[in-house]
Structure formats: structure tokens, C-alpha cells
Amino acid sequence: MQLDKDACIALVVKRAWANLHGVKMFLRQQEYPQTEIRGVDESHVIFARVLDSDDARGIWIELAVNEQKRDSGDSGVERSSMLVPWSQVLTIVAAKQFSPAILREARKIGFTGETERE
């Protein structure tokens, strides 16, 4: 399946990969990167935007890395690009917009990233 650039996705990855210090320090820049990502199973959800899904190595995504600016109404949110290796991807859910219920549940389990543009 071809994913459009800027598509809104929930990327479910292997939690062991998300917990690697070198990965976690970028996924959780605002949330104590030294803290282990926990959950009810071996997965972790990353809400992001697609930058490139055609790379044979993995999917390029865009993360919002400074949520405090966004929350304060500042439109200068820093964004970061990240390559997620295909071997670490469990599933991809594409949606125009995720429901508030899905986002609430994701916040409870410690998701990473954001799906809304300024």
C-alpha cells in the first residue's frame, strides 16, 4: 500500500526498539527519556505524519518534538524526521483524523508524537 506524504498515521512498533536509549531519547524528548516505555503488551504507538514510505529501509516519519510550544499556542513547533526500520513496524493505521477516544487511550498508554498540524 502506498502512503501519501503528510498522511496522518498511528505507527505501531516493537516496544523493545522504542526502548533503545538512542531511539527513546528522540521519541520522548519532553518526557524523561531515561524512563522505560511500558505497556500492556510488546507494542508502542507513535502518532506521526508520513514523510516517505517508499524507502526500502523503513518509513520516514515526522514527529513534533516540542509539544510545549504547540500547547502554549506558539506555531513554531520543532519537527523532527525519523526513519523507523520496517523490521520494527508491527502495523500502520492511516486516518484523516483519529477520534478523541483513540487519542485519550493513547495518552493513557504513553504514546509518542502528535497528529495535528498547526
> What's the pLDDT at 107?
73
Q: Give CA angle at 14 (12, 18), nearest 5°.
A: 95
Q: Distance (Å, rounded) from C-alpha 112 to C-alpha 3?
A: 20
**Each residue's pLDDT tens digit, 57-91:** 999 999 865 444 444 454 556 788 999 999 999 99
> What's the pLDDT at 113?
60
What DSSP designation does 20 have?
S
Strands (E) located in 1-118: 8-14, 43-52, 58-64, 79-85, 89-94, 112-113
The β-bridge relationship of strands 58-64 and 43-52 is: antiparallel
